[in-house]
């Protein structure tokens, strides 16, 4: 049995499933005709080093991948870069393992953490005003998202997380932000687990993403109990048309 739910494995297998152009023990390339502009090239590397790549048939033909025998993940990336088609900086992608999700659903609600609604708009506005623009951009936590949870201390919102459905799948992508004076107190862990428990109860798989060099976010993922699924990199938005 897979460590992760079928919802998760089916989503990623479907995202990279197409006409196989190249395959060896560790690297596979497929052409998929229904990729959008923002996903016309994608790479997924599993923790064991196996790597999947997918791209549009037009790009596959341009690079002649179907007739190549000299390919590797590193060479694939190099040729994309040389052609002006670099990948975006990769994200770690984390999910709850099936055992981890079972433990999460048995967990008692955390103290001082609750769901936020439009009635909390003033509280949330004060929270946003106290955060830097960079932190707000990086976290992408919005009161209008599908689900929003927060930690409230002495009437003040000090940590918030929000989720939205991911790519029409039963997956909910989350962002989280703690105000700087309140970091290091375990609040983000409580809020992340609370919102993830809510998502699971609604039939969604929580998804936690962060850049590879964001050590604080990686540490939070570990503390929150999610497990690394892989490293995902779509084409850069700055890539040539």
Query: 122: domain CATH number?
Result: 3.40.630.30
Q: Quick one: pLDDT at residue 1?
A: 52
Q: Quick one: pLDDT at residue 70?
A: 84
Q: Quick one: pLDDT at residue 113?
A: 98
Q: Does some domain include residue 238?
A: no
Which helix (H) or strand (E) segment is 153 a member of? strand 147-153
Decide: 191 and 161 in contact? Cβ < 8 Å. Answer: yes
Q: Does some domain include residue 221?
A: yes
> What domain count does the chain have?
2
CA-CA distance, 93 to 21, in Å (whole number)?
25
CA-CA distance, 148 to 177, in Å (whole number)?
12
Q: Does some domain include residue 178?
A: yes
pLDDT > 90: percent of the chain: 96
Structure tokens at 76: 């694939």
For residue 61, the enclosing domain spans 6-92
Q: Mind listing the pLDDT tens digit for each residue in 72-98?
A: 999 999 999 999 999 999 999 999 999
Q: Same domain for 189 and 142? A: yes
Q: Mind listing the pLDDT tens digit for each residue in 205-241?
A: 999 999 999 999 999 999 999 999 999 999 999 887 6
Domain stop point among 92, 107, 135: 92
pTM: predicted TM-score of the whole model, two decimal places? 0.95
Q: Same domain for 110 and 78? A: no
In 86-186, DSSP assigns E strands to 91-95, 113-115, 147-153, 156-165, 171-178
Tell which wins on pLDDT, 69 or 49: 49
Across the range 180-207, mean pLDDT stands at 97
């Amino acid at each position: 049995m897979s460590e992760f739910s079928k919802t998760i494995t089916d989503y990623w297998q479907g995202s990279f499933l197409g006409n196989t152009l190249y395959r060896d023990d560790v690297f596979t390339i497929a052409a998929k005709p229904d990729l959008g502009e923002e996903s016309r090239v994608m790479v997924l590397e599993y923790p064991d080093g196996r790597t999947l790549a997918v791209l549009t048939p037009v790009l596959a033909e341009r690079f002649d991948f179907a007739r190549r025998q000299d390919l590797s993940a590193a060479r694939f990336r190099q040729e994309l870069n040389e052609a002006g088609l670099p990948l975006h900086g990769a994200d770690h992608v984390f999910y709850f393992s099936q055992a981890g999700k079972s433990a999460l659903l048995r967990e008692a609600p955390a103290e001082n953490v609750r769901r936020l609604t439009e009635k909390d708009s003033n509280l949330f506005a004060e929270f946003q005003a106290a955060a830097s623009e960079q932190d707000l951009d990086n976290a992408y936590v919005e009161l209008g998202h599908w689900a929003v949870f927060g930690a409230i201390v002495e009437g003040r919102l000090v940590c918030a997380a929000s989720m939205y459905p991911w790519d029409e799948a039963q997956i909910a992508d989350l962002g989280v932000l703690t105000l700087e004076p309140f970091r290091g107190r375990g609040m983000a862990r409580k809020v992340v687990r609370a919102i993830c428990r809510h998502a699971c109860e609604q039939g969604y798989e929580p998804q936690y993403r962060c850049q590879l060099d964001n050590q604080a976010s990686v540490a939070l993922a570990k503390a929150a109990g999610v497990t690394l699924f892989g490293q995902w990199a779509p084409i850069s938005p700055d890539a040539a048309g």
